[in-house]
Amino acid sequence: MSKLINGLILILKKIKRSIFGRIASIYNFFCSHARLRNRVFFYTIRGNGVLSGNIKCVYDAYDGEKVVFAKMLPHSVIDVAKAKWLLLTSKVVVTDDYLKYLRMVRLRKEQSVVQVWHACGAFKRFGLDAPSKLTRDEEIRTHSQYTDVCVSSDYVRRFYAGAFGVEIEVVKAIGSPRTDNLLDSAYQFAQRQSIFSKQPILENKKVFVYFPTFREDYGEITDFDPEIDWNALNESLENDEVFVVSRHPVMKKRFFESGSFSKIIDLTAEPTEELLAAATAVITDYSSIVFDASLLSIPTVFYCPDYDTYERSFYLDYETELPGKIVKNQEMLLEAVRSSLIIHEHETDSERFFEKEMSACDGQSTKRIVELIKEHLNQ
């Protein structure tokens, strides 16, 4: 009897998938034959109701007709319908991450897709070059309709072309929009004043900001233990030093309870730009924050106790090409950070790293991308 019931359930599920598949096909057809509007569709899965980073800079600078879809996954049926409608009826699409619906529909030849990827440079492998929940075919179809991929230097173009499975001509070294503000001294001053007003503990202190990135297992986010004895670290910090933790947005689990320490504070909720403006030194592991630190000439230390077991590989030689000291245990961490402030031991490495990874970031990136969008709209 149970086998019969299970069989019926499987049949019903297949029928349901078939019906929904047919409905989706009809809806896609309807959308793709509706009037194509001369507008820009900004799509992100990196926040709910808000844009940030590269895509926000471009959105703010573009003064024509525009519409936004900002919703983290998973999406409801209504979200899917809205996203597809805007995708299939907008002449230009701008995204800063995966736009899954691109692998489900075929855009018209008059449409363009501009990828302003959320990170600079080429550090840890991604897309087709990294473990993924998607099949290789799904990865390729997700990225195959890009007309432009905007990157931070000519050197990294080949890596993005490989990761997205697109021709290298599609990848253009015209900069990363969010770096324009990082190069603006007035903006940096305002960011520094803002974080000091909210977090007075940071003012007149040496601020060491720890930016750990998330860990995953074939695309699934996993818990992360930074292997830090927080009590010992707090005791080791001088009175003029503050250790700030800023976890990656997808890392929901805190390392310690708020208010646990006098010289260690979790400020994950504060904007990254503000924390960078206050930072005396940056500590990270495999995060693309290294590119921002490079742009701002902030000494950087790489703390990676799990280096030997980290899932992803890199586009560079981690142990020889990074612009800073690598530390694999807590005992050497503070010593390395303090040393980086006294003598910039990797100054030549930093200059070489910046030239390779960030040379197209000159304060005019947003302007160039907006001009590119307008060119597509006028075609």
> According to the model, what pLDDT value does residue 312 have?
85
> According to the model, what pLDDT value does residue 253 have?
86
> According to the model, what pLDDT value does residue 251 have?
85
> According to the model, what pLDDT value does residue 284 have?
96
> According to the model, what pLDDT value does residue 273 have?
93
> According to the model, what pLDDT value does residue 12 have?
58
> According to the model, what pLDDT value does residue 217 have?
78
> According to the model, what pLDDT value does residue 4 have?
61
CB 290 within 8 Å of CB 281: no
Rounded to whole angstroms, the Cα distance separating 46 from 44 reads 5
Arithmetic mean of pLDDT over the chain: 92
> According to the model, what pLDDT value does residue 121 have?
95
pLDDT tens track of the chain, all 379 residues? 566 666 566 665 666 565 666 778 899 998 999 999 999 999 999 999 999 999 999 999 999 999 999 999 999 999 999 999 999 999 999 999 999 999 999 999 999 999 999 999 999 999 999 888 899 999 999 999 999 999 999 999 999 999 999 999 999 999 999 999 999 999 999 999 999 999 999 999 999 999 999 887 776 778 888 999 999 999 999 999 999 999 988 888 888 888 889 999 999 999 999 999 999 999 999 999 999 999 998 999 999 999 988 888 999 999 999 999 999 999 999 999 999 988 655 566 778 899 999 999 999 999 999 999 999 999 8
